[in-house]
């Protein structure tokens, strides 16, 4: 089974110039703690609710500061045509619970989570990944 079969196709992105307040509002509206950050049609990072609190508010940033000041700049992603078990293994090794999904032109086409992998994909592979993440 390929990732495109289990991913969430409704990926929302933020830009590095948007504010932390806007990022928090987007996360609240779509009920997530993870949003890819894009610029010029390319992924340039990700931001999590934890980034906003730990790298932002706890370091004196305000809701008016830019996403770029706290976002993670290492862009981990998978391809939409990769096998679910392979992606689950990679998520476990990298200790991430969510990952942007891109096509072979590296355009964002969705987000995959461990939940997606376990409920719609390969529960045993997702379980192994979760075990690795939890260590």
Distances (CA, A) of 101 to 6, 7, 56: 11, 8, 26
Q: Which residues of 18-48 are buried (b: 16+ CB within 10 A; e: fewer)?
A: bbbebbbebbeeeebebbbbbeeeebbbbbb
Give the model's pLDDT for residue 127. 66
Strand partners, 83: 2
Distances (CA, A) of 97 to 4, 17, 89, 117: 17, 25, 11, 10
Average pLDDT of span 47-56: 95
- Encode pLDDT of 82-106 as tens digits: 999 899 889 888 988 899 999 999 8
| Under 8 Å between Cβ of 128 and 86 | no
Mean pLDDT (the chain, rounded): 89
Percent residues over pLDDT 70 in the chain: 88
Report pLDDT digits (tens) over 17-33. 999 999 999 999 999 99
pTM over 0.75? The answer is: yes
Q: b/e string for 73-83 if b means 16 or more Cβ within 10 A? A: eebebbbbeeb
Residue with more model confidence, 61 or 132: 61
Percent of the chain whose pLDDT exceeds 90: 65
What is the pLDDT at residue 112? 94
């Amino acid at each position: 089974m390929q990732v495109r079969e289990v991913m969430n196709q409704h990926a929302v992105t933020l830009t590095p110039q948007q504010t932390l307040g806007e990022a928090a509002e987007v996360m609240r509206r779509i009920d997530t703690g993870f949003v890819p950050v894009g610029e010029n049609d390319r992924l340039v990072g990700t931001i999590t609710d934890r980034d906003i609190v730990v790298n932002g508010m706890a370091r004196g940033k305000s809701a008016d500061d830019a996403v770029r000041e706290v976002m993670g700049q290492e862009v981990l992603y998978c391809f939409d045509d990769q096998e679910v078990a392979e992606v689950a293994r990679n998520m476990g090794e990298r200790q991430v619970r969510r990952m942007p999904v891109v096509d072979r032109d590296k355009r964002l086409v969705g987000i995959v989570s461990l939940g997606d992998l376990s409920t719609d994909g390969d529960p045993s592979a997702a379980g192994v990944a979760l075990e690795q993440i939890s260590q």
